[in-house]
Amino acid sequence: MEYVYSGNIILAVLLFAIGALGVVWRRHAIAVFMCIELMLNAANLAFVTFAYSINDSMAAASGSKPLDGAIIALFVMTVAAAEAGVGLAIFLRVYRQRGTINLDEFTLLKD
């Protein structure tokens, strides 16, 4: 089953890169936000994969168990949920004031 671990690490790397690419490419605030969620998901996947891939000798050497990484992933999910709630409320408010959520339009500090 080792191929699942290696494959998942590669998958997490690719997903993170795709998310970073999307954050830079997309101009839509919600789309950028979704790409950030993608990156969080990739980090989660890497966490769980690294945690589950340790075997008994590694666990004895480092003192950590497979569950530790999985619980960190659970916390990451909670933080992502909180972040999504507040972020989307901010977008709604900005849309009400400015009539758009295209990130290129927000140049108040620049001008």
Partner 1 sequence: MLIFTYSMIFAITIVSALIVIVSRNTFYSAISLIVTMIAIAGNFLMMRAELIALVQLLVYAGAIMVLFLFVIMLLNLREEEETPRSLMPRKIAGLLLAMIFIVQAAYITLSIFNIDSVRDPIVLTEEFNASQEKRAEETGVNAFAETLFTKYMIPFELTSVLLLAAIVGAVAVGLKEDKRQAAPDAPQANLQ
Does 41 bind partner 1 (CB under 8 A)? Our answer is yes
Shortest distance, position 97 Cβ to partner 1, whole Å: 8
Total interface residues for partner 1 by CB under 8 A? 72
Q: Which residues contact 88 (CB under 8 A, 6 or more apart)?
A: 30, 33
Does 64 bind partner 1 (CB under 8 A)? Our answer is no
Does 43 bind partner 1 (CB under 8 A)? Our answer is no
Q: Map residues 88-107 to x or -, x wherever contact with partner 1 holds by CB under 8 A.
A: xxxxxx-xx----xx-x---
**Distance, CA of 94 to CA of 69 (rounded, Å):** 37
